[in-house]
Amino acid sequence: MKLNKILTLMLLLVFSMGFAQQGKKQSKKLNTKKVQVVESIKVSKIADELPSTVVATSLKDSTVFDLKDMALARKKDSLWLKELYKSDLFDDIYNSVVNQEYDAVDYDELPTAVLKQRLKELDARTPFKVEYSPSLESIIKQYLKNRRGSLERLMGLSEYYFPMFEQELDKNNLPLELKYLAVIESALNPSAQSRVGATGLWQFMYPTGKMFGLDVSSYVDERSDPIMSTEAACKYLKSLNTSFNDWDLALAAYNSGPGNVSKAIRRSGGKTNYWSLRDFLPRETAGYVPAFLATMYIFEYAQEHGFKKKSTRIPYVATDTIKVKQQITLDQVAKLTNLDKEELAFLNPSYKLGIIPVIKDENYMLRLPLTAVGAFVNNEEAIYAFAQEEQQEAEKPLPELYEQPEKIRYRVKSGDYLGRIADRYGVGISQIKSWNGMRSNSVKVGQNLIIYPKKGTQDIASNAPLKTNTTSEKTYTVRNGDSLWSISQRFPGVSVQNIKKWNDISGSNLKPGTKLKIYKG
């Protein structure tokens, strides 16, 4: 092994610990303990090449924080992420708009008189025509009665997205209430794609996106970039309002195109009130503005209706961007920063294959939590060296007569998301997307995925190693003083992560007498 490779790995050893420490500086009293290994770095490989004194010193000086609440906090984070990355809301909202019914709904919690008063108040403080009608009352009550769970999830997502929307809307002197349009358009999913190809938070078609400066390439779809697509949406909405001089018609034109609104005006005999020409618009657009107004009402009066917002784990203001200097994958960034892969994909949704390219005259950015930005910048050389070396390793011909590893077909189950599947099979999110021609990180229950598992990883269906390997199962009984790391050292080729996955362990605490499954081979 070359000296520069050794130094790079040593830097990454320190770097990985730096992230762990940086995220915990806020605690008043922190207990530390000495450790003999850092899981994310294969220290044993370094030991073969370095003098024993260097290795001993570096390991002796390694420390990690022993926070008793970390397992619980991580479990809560995992549950939040699981909810966050569900991809079912987009279809739900799209279908509710297209197939909207307007029958009377029994919902005693919201008397008609109270609704009329609130709509009147809302009308006074917005430029939109918020007038009571039995149709609008029907939609509002349907949402309140049947979609509370979905609305709470959307309110949680809005905690991240709305601040950036409001910033751009204010900069363009547009009504801040237009932020609710993205809820109707995409269910606040930057990877959402409609049946006709509209993409992103603001659902731009390819030609319209190009018209407003959004580029699409093999690696990047700027329609899925939250900031860039919001800037484009502001320009488009402003131009539509200039053309129609009416926000209701501008919204209708945003949904179905200005041509359809102009035709509806002609067919209605020249009427320019949305509610008067609504019957002449496409069915989806006829339900579009009422759905927007109903969503605005519920978000504005969420507290009165007992909604509890799930606050985001990382607010938008607690993130920042770094200009990428060399090509790197989100999988590599996740590995080096100890961040969740799905969380990185959430923060950087415009990279279709999970790869951030470096292209002349383009400034592609990596968005990270603020807690990770400083350490990333301070260790850029080591990070890019690691990424380049890993890429070179990946490009080498496959061993065993260049045979492709045996592939499996995995059927997506309820609760699955791409990061979980990738972890189970020891592969990257970008690899799964590439193997299956996927453009977004969304998966649906019942979807079939082709996967080329890393040797020794589990079969997600049986929670045991893949049958392509010769394995033997052993049961180990936890003793006093045992830790996951000390147990892993008893079995060659077994890692802490293996033991956690085989036994469905989320934390690091073990009770004496616990039976653990260990797979060898």
Spatial CA neighbour of 304 closest among 45, 117, 101: 117
Amino acid 395: pLDDT: 61
Q: Phi and psi at residue 269, in whole multiples of 5°? A: 85, 25
3-state DSSP percent of the chain in helix, strand and coil, to 5: 50, 10, 40
| Ranges of the chain with pLDDT below 70 | 1-88, 310-313, 394-405, 455-472, 507-508, 520-521
- By annotation, the residues acting in catalysis are 185
pLDDT tens-digit map of 436-456: 888 777 788 888 898 888 765
d(CA 213, CA 193): 19
| 179-186 and 283-300 helices, crossing angle to 10° | 130
- What pTM was computed for the model? 0.67
- Which are the contacts of 81, defined by CB distance < 8 A and separation ≥ 6? 313, 340, 342, 343, 417
Using an 8 Å Cβ cutoff, are 369 and 339 in contact? yes
pLDDT tens-digit map of 238-263: 999 999 999 999 999 999 899 999 99
Amino acid 366: pLDDT: 95
Amino acid 491: pLDDT: 80
Amino acid 113: pLDDT: 96
Amino acid 15: pLDDT: 46
